[in-house]
Amino acid sequence: MALFGGFNRTSSHEIDVLRHDVAIFKNLIVERQHPLDLVRELLSNAGAKQVGATRIEISYTRDREGHIFDVSDNGCGMDFSSDDGGVGRLARFLGLGLSSIVGEKSDEFSWKGLGSKLAYQSRKVMIETRAAGQSLYEVRINEPWDSLNNNELPRPRITEHKDTDAPTGTRIRVVGHPPHRQEKPFTMDELRRFLLHRTFAGFTKPRENPPAVVLSVMGQVERLEFGLPEFKDIVFPERLSLDADSKTLFVNMALIRPPSMSVRLRGVLTWEPDRFGLSDENLNTGLLVSSRGIPYFELPLDECGARKIVRSNPGRARVCLVAECAQVYSEMNLSRSGLVDSAVTLEFREMLGQLLRNLEASAEYDEFCRLKRESRRAAHAADIVRDRTTIKSEDQKWVVLDRNGGGPMVLMREPKNDAEVIAILGKLESLGALPFAKFQTLAHPEVASGPDLFVKFQEEAAAEPTHMAMFGAEKRFRAQRRRDGLASQSQNVICWDLGGRGRKSTLKETEKGYKFLVDAGGSQMPVYVMKLMDGLRVMSTRELRERGIEM
């Protein structure tokens, strides 16, 4: 297409837009969920079979006027006619009516004229279009959103350029959409992810001769590979197929209810989500609803009848399922972010729930879950072997009590977790080797957010004993832990070592080398570090052997 303004004008005039109900029109716009919904709708318009485009170009940039979206195609173009004999494509695009709802014929993906209406939420709209045998038309609409907010109809100015040899096609440029948004520009990754998972570019069904889709973001250009990326190179079986090597269950199940409702569930459940690039950021986890091939939004799995899948078998983050149903196309809400409450929607949800229940009740799904259990057991076995190998190595570190000339006593390996810290603490307590006048463990409370130990505690002989002191036990102290319902002044921490880089609490030293104080909401909470207590050392297997101790 020619650049805007890159040709001689032959005639220019304002036109009245077709209208149905301005309130409905504005409602369609303000309920949109995301600025990129505009691109989704313009791309759907360009990708319709009736348009016949072989190439669609999407360009995005941002300047002082805000976000700028530009979508062009080499399809049939938009004819212009507003007489009583028929309304042309261009007049329908500019109109405030609801497209096919008010009696106008619509294209494959047209839906209440949403694409054109979203374009009106902007500072400026510019269109160039030419249909076969017609003039080239240039349309400019200045401040359409301001006009609507002032209860005025926008006044598109259309310029006709006759005797032109411009190719057929359409280019739509929307400047400042939406006018009040000035956030940072979208990136190539953000736009690519959105286009491939929420628009025509991520088509979920086979499609003959799809157009080339080219994306340009802030000058960076990339051709998108057509179709949902997660389904690329997958030959879906009929019903279910388990690939044990990739730990993936492939799903392709359908349910048909005559005379007109059909739902197909396709996708993957996998224990290896990285293989398919599954993540929330990529907009490809959970259950997507696709209608007429376009993925529009995600539905919560649990609300659709899934039970085992949604929790940990395998959990939403390891699921990429698409529910395809042509019949719900007309049952989407105004912004296409969900479904309206209707008999068709209810039937769709019932059928989808039946498919999900059939999946969870299948032998293939049971085998898929068994793979994880076996994998977990194998991983645990490998961890045990690795732990045993490490413990037997010459470099294994041990906690050694060495005091009063009695020779070193090996207590345990240097702790790897909080449980091993408590075990070493128990040994020191039983040996009377802790530097306190009294330390007697009374209980290990089961409250997860509470203390790890109840202790009869007396730090020094002259100090007042505490009959139920609360202690937290940690491998490394990094920050004060919240212990719900407990007064901070009654807390104590005993740890093996102090965390180094990344420690969030500032520690105050005391005259005792193993004791520190940390601010705990106005009081000073003591932190006792076992590794710094007298008589405790860390020695390797090699060092112990040199002292005549075999491990």
- CATH number of residue 51's parent domain: 3.30.565.10
Residues 157 and 299 occupy one common structural domain: no
User: Which structural domain range is residue 295 located in?
Assistant: 230-366
Query: Per-residue b/e over 502-532, b at no fewer than 16 CB within 10 Å?
Result: eeebeeeeeebebbbebebeeeebbbbbbbe
Q: Looking at 149-163, 354-368, 422-436, which range is the least confident one?
A: 149-163
Residues 45 and 179 occupy one common structural domain: yes
Residues 251 and 184 occupy one common structural domain: no
Residues 267 and 410 occupy one common structural domain: no
Residues 61 and 206 occupy one common structural domain: yes
C-beta of residue 465 within 8 angstroms of C-beta of residue 449: no
> In whole angstroms, how large is the CA radius of gyration of the chain?
34
Per-residue pLDDT of 24-68, as tens digits, reads 566 656 666 677 989 998 999 999 999 999 999 999 999 988 999
pLDDT value for 84:
47
Residues 238 and 342 occupy one common structural domain: yes
- Picking from 206, 227, 248, the residue at the C-terminal end of a domain is 227
At 244, which CATH number? 3.30.230
- Picking from 202, 227, 252, the residue at the C-terminal end of a domain is 227
Whether 549 is covered by a domain: the verdict is no
Per-residue pLDDT, averaged over 436-450, amounts to 87
Residues 86 and 42 occupy one common structural domain: yes
C-beta of residue 286 within 8 angstroms of C-beta of residue 272: no
Residues 254 and 213 occupy one common structural domain: no
Per-residue pLDDT, averaged over 432-438, amounts to 95
Whether 243 is covered by a domain: the verdict is yes
Per-residue pLDDT of 256-306, as tens digits, reads 998 889 999 999 999 999 999 999 999 999 999 999 999 999 999 999 999
Residues 212 and 329 occupy one common structural domain: no
Whether 285 is covered by a domain: the verdict is yes
User: What share of the chain has pLDDT > 90, as a percent?
Assistant: 58
Per-residue pLDDT of 501-539, as tens digits, reads 555 567 899 999 999 998 876 778 899 999 999 999 999
Whether 388 is covered by a domain: the verdict is no
Measured between alpha carbons, how far is 548 from 544 in angstroms, rounded to an integer?
A: 6
**Number of domains present in the structure of the chain:** 3
Whether 302 is covered by a domain: the verdict is yes
The Cβ of residue 281 has, within 10 Å, a number of other Cβ atoms equal to 11
Residues 188 and 270 occupy one common structural domain: no
Whether 529 is covered by a domain: the verdict is yes
Per-residue pLDDT, averaged over 118-127, amounts to 91
Residues 202 and 266 occupy one common structural domain: no
Residues 189 and 236 occupy one common structural domain: no
Per-residue pLDDT of 315-342, as tens digits, reads 999 999 999 999 998 888 756 678 888 9
Whether 142 has a pLDDT exceeding 80, the answer reads yes
Residue with the larger pLDDT of the pair 433 and 22: 433
pLDDT value for 21:
53
Q: What confidence category does residue 102 fall into, taking pLDDT thresholds of 50, 70 and 90?
A: very low
Residue with the larger pLDDT of the pair 93 and 252: 252
Residue with the larger pLDDT of the pair 225 and 524: 225
- Picking from 185, 202, 227, the residue at the C-terminal end of a domain is 227
Whether 386 is covered by a domain: the verdict is no
